[in-house]
Amino acid sequence: MEKTDVTQCSVVVLAGGWSDEREISLQSGRACQKALGQAGFEKVDFLDVAEPDFVKKLADGNYDVAFVAMHGRYGEDGCIQGLLEIMHIPYTFSGVLASATGTEKEVAKSIYRSAGIPVPEGVDLKGDTQVDDKMAAELVNKLGLPIFVKPAANGSSFGVSRVTSADELAAAVAKAGSEGDRVLVESCIEGTEISVPVIGNDNPHALPIIEVVTGADFYDSKVKYEPSALHHVIPARLPEAAYAKAQELAVRAHKALGCLGASRSDFIVKSDGTPVILETNTIPGMTESSLMPDSARHEGIEFPELCRKFVEYALEAHGTKE
* Catalytic residue of the set 19, 228, 281, 295: 281
Phi–psi pair at 166, nearest 5 degrees: -60, -35
Give the Cα separation of 314 and 185 in Å (integer).
Answer: 35
* Catalytic residue of the set 64, 104, 266, 294: 266
* Catalytic residue of the set 180, 285, 290, 313: 285
Query: Quick check: is 302 catalytic?
Result: no
Query: Quick check: is 21 catalytic?
Result: yes
Residues 6+ positions from 111 with CB-CB distance below 8 Å: 101, 256, 257
Residues 6+ positions from 19 with CB-CB distance below 8 Å: 25, 70, 71, 72, 73, 74, 75, 155
Query: Quick check: is 168 catalytic?
Result: no
**How many other C-beta atoms are found inside a 10 Å radius of the C-beta of residue 73?**
21
* Catalytic residue of the set 21, 76, 104, 294: 21
CA distances from 156 to 18, 222, 254, 284 (A): 14, 9, 19, 10
* Catalytic residue of the set 94, 264, 308, 313: 264
Give the Cα separation of 296 and 206 in Å (integer).
Answer: 10
Query: Quick check: is 225 catalytic?
Result: yes
Query: Quick check: is 203 catalytic?
Result: no
DSSP code of residue 181: S
* Catalytic residue of the set 20, 76, 279, 294: 279
* Catalytic residue of the set 225, 248, 297, 316: 225
Query: Quick check: is 190 catalytic?
Result: no
Catalytic residues: 21, 156, 225, 264, 266, 279, 281, 285
